[in-house]
Structure 1
């Protein structure tokens, strides 16, 4: 309950930031209420879009999230914040999971290449990671979108459930107090 109240309190502050002269060029594009509304539907859409776009490689995650949020009338703040679930600590397990999902979808047997970061040393782990990701091939190309849509759907449903949980509990309490028809 406190989180919802806090989210509703920051909405006017974010909308006030759009009045800056440096953002005047983007005001017609960003001046939609849903993009910065902290209510259930825009927040759930933003979460789903952020989970989907978080798996896009490289710096395109945030740009793709902003574009999709504006097209689908989702909360941009939630979408952009959600993309950060992919980071240097989580990207290797997520890509390994995407490989497994892609291997299950694709015909034939797929073998995951070994991530040999120890041989590369401290300075060479980033090129070793890049080489490992490129060696993953088609299973990752297929697995990432499948995993992204699965994350997005489940994130949307879980957030909606979490948001509506107090209302459903209140409705059940009210129904339990009503007299039962005989």
Structure 2
């Protein structure tokens, strides 16, 4: 990933540099990290192409960390694409979805295709919401755990410092 300054020097980014200057977009903190993870997972599951760019663009209004949002979309990659879509089809197929189509006898294949597409879309929406929520919660808990661990070590480090002086 390029540095922030190198990115701002691009001719197509310069007009939007004032929008991209907010510190939460580039620094990890307790709010921007979980937002970035949730946003990236949501876009990664829901959008089949252009995920990286869309997650980075959506990170701006949500004040999510841009690199985290973009990299979280990699949950769907060439190795995981087929299993995720198959599982989404199965999950969406369990729900009572009205069959789409005209009902004509020669359009049975079209009706079956639209029903399968609808089931997959519903399954992907369920996955996007569930995994974005879990990603937000897990990354927020990770941040909190990491901070608590640092704070617990702090008195010992301060005590060692005073003993050496």
Tell me the TM-score normalised to structure 2 length. Answer: 0.72
Alignment of 1:1-182 (within 5 A): 14-22=3-11, 23-107=13-97, 136-169=116-149
TM-align CA RMSD? 2.8
Aligned equivalents of 2:7, 2:16: Cα separation in 1: 8
Cα drift, residue 19 of structure 1: 4.1
Range that drifts further, 19-28 or 74-83: 19-28
Q: Deviations over 1:110-156 (max 9, x none)?
A: xxxxxxxxxxxxxxxxxxxxxxx978321111111111010000011
Q: Deviations over 1:5-27 (max 9, x none)?
A: xxxxx9xx833234415231220
Tell me the TM-score normalised to structure 1 length. Answer: 0.66
Q: Deviations over 1:144-174 (max 9, x none)?
A: 1111010000011111111111334567899
Gaps of 5+ in 1: 1-9, 109-132, 175-182
Aligned equivalents of 1:20, 1:34: Cα separation in 2: 20
Gaps of 5+ in 2: 99-112, 155-165
The runs of at least 4 consecutive aligned structure 1 residues that moved more than 6 Å come to 170-174
> How many aligned residue pairs are there?
140
Preserved CA contact (<8 Å) 1:106 1:139: no
Q: CA 1:142–1:27 in 2, change beyond 3 Å: closer, same or farther? A: same
